[in-house]
Every structure is written in structure tokens, then in C-alpha cells.
Amino acid sequence: MENSLLYPCNNRYRDSRLLDGLWQFQFDPTAKGKAQHWEKGLPQPLKVPVPGSFSELFTKEQQRDYVGDFWYETNFFVPRGWEQTTLWVRFGSLTQRATVYCNGVELTTHEGGFLPVIAALSSVIRLNQENKLVVQLNNELNETSLPCGTQKILPSGRKIAKPYFDFFNYAGIQRSVWLLSLPQVAIQDYSVTFQREEENALVNFDVQTTDSNSVQVRLLDAQGKLVAAAHGKQGTLRVPHAHWWQVRNAYLYQIVIQLKTETGEILDEYSDRIGIRTVEISGTKILLNGKPIYLKGFGKHEDFAILGKTFNWSVAKRDFELMKWSNANCFRTSHYPYAEEWYQFADEEGFLIIDEVPAVGMMRSTHNYVAAGSGKYTHFFETPTVPQLKANHLQQINEMIVRDKNHPSVIAWSLFNEPETTSAYAKEYFTEIFTKARQYDPQKRPLTGALEKNSQPDKCQCFPLLDFICLNRYYGWYISGGADIEEAEQLFQQEMEKWKALNLNVPIVFTEFGADTLPSEHKLPSSMWSQEYQCKYLKMNFHVFDNYDFVQGELVWCFADFQTAEAIMRVNGNRKGVFTRERQPKDAAFMLKQRWETK
């Protein structure tokens, strides 16, 4: 079951208990915790919330900017009645790498900070006694794991992060922790795919279990009425007069999977909500249920004051309300898989998601947003660490797809953001990444990735791998900004004509374009950093987009202001948000709302 990433489900056969709350916490700057057996208990802990991003909690920069090992600890009892079940602990994520212990025994290790970590507890648990759960984490950045970066050692010996990406390197136990009680014989995973049959739908299913007992699958409509049923681990449900999951008009069915003995005794049950829909690329169009869709919305971040990257239902609700208000229909999970609850919310609201693996920072630059437009080449894919990085990259792609494959909201997988793509080394690297990724998804969703300015149509060697092309472009900001914006538009048009001349017959989606804007700044005439300039900049970009019918989406960078590492081009973070970090609109929000009402 360690490979099962199913979201917790409570019923007669499965139970869960959240372990969220105040945990013990201790920094370990000299990495002495393991030698001193901190897995048996932390010697001088503080109390911190779980889930939480520790950098947002303290008042000293040494704690906010901490890089290295750190530990969490909590105690728990196993609820009465769980004695005859298998016991597990499930972390929504552990950032960036972790070792999990229970009662002093190592359970599992995990690399990658944005996907679930599961560990078996049954062999080490103490019934009717207090149990100690301890997690050792590390948030150092390197070039063998994702996201990429490095660190610097200050004269004092203290380490600080030097990310090759433009968001703060928040870390900790940033998503919920569950104690799970599952049957001895259990459902491990399931997958669904869809086909249209006139007004009906075919739902193909594939169920994985821990043994060879029989499986029954039922599909219920939104009112709980049975609409189809089938037996077997693989099969097809025929849904008459199907309700199709549509953009901003979601219809969700409930799938109920039961594991049974030969005599019909139910051993396990798992239920989930699914939407029936198809996604494909046809020429320059993105088709949902066979009909063209135009993507309009945002790049986002999991980011909020005090919370950092901690998932919070209130923040999620506010974000979806603002996206609905703005007439958006799509967002990209830049630059990592988000907490699972974001996808559940998008399923309910009918939003489209481009789901992105944390392959960001694949350019050796701590100011990548400048290097991306300068033509800088850093030989990133020519180092001995590449094989280890590739293995980590593929593992995280696989885990992302396993976790998110049944969400109707997810319409594409983004396998990178702004890497170097102009060399034969990059082409070789990403050819294997895309080839293997195509094997992971039962629904065969389109694969893409976001290309930065250096990845020009006459130089990029990787865009032929993409089912649709995503471009991040900042003409008018990093390139020919301010008074030079007329030149920026001309340069932009010149590049777009190069893409047009290739006659690729695939869609292009702009996944980043934006201008840093302070909500306090108004200038007449406009100037950079003012709200007026943000609107002027966006209008210029829209004018270019609208000249090309193969442009099939615009995801503004970005939804809301977010925290970054300190830099002279950052005023307390990245200020390209259409909304402030507090989720209040800038002037550009009203302009987007009007455009997207009819676009």
C-alpha cells in the first residue's frame, strides 16, 4: 500500500484521524540529530503548527531563512476498534526531503516536497499506549532534485538558499497529516478513462487491490441514483444520457468500488467523485468533449501571508471566488503540484488545470527571470548529476500522475518550467522524460511545458515534444519595458511571425506574461510599477495574441502577489499579481474581467 496515493475516505471499512495541530519542532543546523537519536524524541523543541511553513512563523531572519535539517514530533493514540486493521500515516507532502520514524523505528524516506508520503505503522505501533511520530526534514536545494538551486555559506557558517527559481523556498509539513485505518485486504488504486457513444458515455475502469478477491464498481449520479454497475478489476460502465463535465459547469458522478469475497462479504470500499469528459488536441484547437475551448486565467502559487504554502480552505475559497468573478476558466499549478484539495475544488467548480511537476530552476541562475531573456547559457544538462536528476524528475512525474489522474479538472501535464532547451543535451534529456511520461497516464492527456524567452522557434530543440506549446514571455517588462513598450510589441510580433512560419498546426498557450505593479502607485502618463502601466502592458500583449488564431490561451502571470527571495528587482516579493497578496483587486483585474466576459 506504500504506493497508494488515494485521498483518505471514511466509511464502514476505512477510517482516518487528522494529526494536525501543534507539534514539537527543532532546527538541526549541524545535522547532529541522527547521531544523537532525535528520532526517539527532540531534546529542546519549540511548538509549531502542522500544517505550516516554518519561515512565516518566526521573527528572526536566521529562522525565516533557515537551510538544513529540521525535525518534527508528535504523540498519538490509536483509536479503539482499529486493532484488527492495517495502520498507516499519510502526509500530504513533506518539503523537500524526509525520513519518517515511529517509536524510534525508521519507516520510510522520500525525496520531493509536493506529493504525498505514505508509511506503514502496524509493525511498530503500540496499542493502548502513546506512540511517538518523528519526521526529519531537509530543505537544501541542489541540482539532483526538484526544484533546482544551490546554497551559500555565510562567514558565520550559516547556510542560506540560492534558488534557481523565483519563489520563496518554503518548507516544513505544509499539508495535513492523517492516521489511517484500512482493511487487511484493501483497494490500492483505481483509474478511469472515457469514451463518447452518441448521447451515452463509456467509463472504463481499472482497479488495483492487494489480493485476488472480486471487485464490484458502481456509478451513482448527483442524486445518488445508480446509473451503471459492473464486476471485475477491469471493465466498462455504460452511462446512458451522460451528463458531461464542462467548463464552469461541472457535473460529478460518484464511483463506488467494493472488494468482496466469493460469498459476497464486503472487505473494503472506496468512493470518489469523478467527472466524465474527454480532452484532446486537434490541429490548433484544444478540445474538451469534442468542442474547442480557449484557456483564460492565471499562473498561481500556493502562497499567503503567515501561511506560506500551507493549504487553507478559506484562501482556496477566496481564490476560486475571485477567479469566477474575473470570468477565468483555467490555472496552472506553477511550479509544483498543489495540495489535493485545490483539485477537488476545481472539480466542483468546473475549472481547468494544467498540472505542473516541480521541474523549475533547470537553468543555473539565481536571477533566472533576468537570465531567461538575456540569452544566457549555463550548460545545465551537461553535468554528471543529470542521471540522478532525471530519475528524480521521472519519479515526481509518476507520483503526480498517480495522485491526480482521476481529476476531471486536470486537462494537461506540464513537465517543466523555463529550462534550457537549446542544446542537444537538453533534447536528449527531455525526449526520455516525455517518452516515459506518456506511459503513466491512462487518460493520455496532452503533455506540455513552459518555454522561456531563450527558447526561440529557431533555437529551441524541445518544443516538438510538446502536444501544445506554452510560452512565458515578458516583452514590455524585462525586455524593452517602460518607454520602450512600442519596441517591445514589435519584437513580440517578430517572434510570433517565426512561430507562425513553422506551420506547426498545434495550439500555443501563453502561460506567463505580466508586469510588477504596486497597488499604491498611480501614474499619468503611465510608468513601470504603476497600475496604469500594468493595464497598458496587458493590452499590448492581448493585441499581439489576437493576431494569431493558433493562440488558444492566456494565463496571466500571476493571480496574486507572492513571496520570493530578497532581490533588488523584488519589492517584498513578486508583485505581478492581478490581485494583492491579501486577495484584493488591482486595476488590471477589472480589465481582465471585461475581456474574459466575451473572450
Task: Identify each DSSP E strand in 418-493 by its residue range.
Answer: 447-451, 469-472
- Is residue 512 among the annotated active site residues? yes
Catalytic residue, candidates 356, 420, 512, 554: 512
User: What Å distances lie between residue 87 and 66, 103, 126, 179, 331, CA to CA?
Assistant: 34, 14, 11, 7, 36
Residue 404 backbone phi and psi in degrees, to 5: -105, 5
- E strand or H helix at 402, and its extent? helix 386-404
Residue 285 to residue 277: CA distance in whole angstroms:
16
Q: Exposure string (b/e) for 481-512, b if CB count within 10 Å is 16 or more?
A: beeebeebbebbeebbeebeeeebebbbbbbb
Residue 422 backbone phi and psi in degrees, to 5: -100, 5
User: What Å distances lie between residue 518 and 2, 304, 335, 369, 468, CA to CA?
Assistant: 46, 17, 23, 19, 33
Q: Which residues pair with residue 104 across a beta bridge?
A: none
Record the cell numbers describing residue 381, joined without a space.
Answer: 544538462
Task: Please give the torsion angle defined by the CA atoms of residues 219, 222, 227 and 232, in that order, rounded to the nearest 10 degrees.
Answer: 0
Confirm if 452 and 469 have CB atoms less than 8 A apart: no
- E strand or H helix at 321, and its extent? helix 313-325
Strand duo 177-182 + 69-76: pairing? unpaired
Record the cell numbers describing residue 215, joined without a space.
Answer: 471487485
Classified as helix, coil or strand, 480 is coil
User: What Å distances lie between residue 448 and 281, 340, 437, 501, 506, CA to CA?
Assistant: 11, 21, 11, 21, 11
- Is residue 418 among the annotated active site residues? yes
Residue 154 to residue 334: CA distance in whole angstroms:
30
Confirm if 253 and 222 have CB atoms less than 8 A apart: yes
- Count of CB atoms within 10 A of residue 220's CB? 17
Measured on CA atoms in the order 315, 556, 452, 160, is the torsion positive or negative? negative
Catalytic residue, candidates 73, 143, 269, 418: 418
| Secondary structure letter of residue 419 according to DSSP | -
Residue 270 exposure: Cα atoms within 13 Å on the Cβ side: 21
User: What Å distances lie between residue 210 and 187, 233, 441, 464, CA to CA?
Assistant: 7, 12, 21, 40
- Catalytic residue numbers read 418, 512
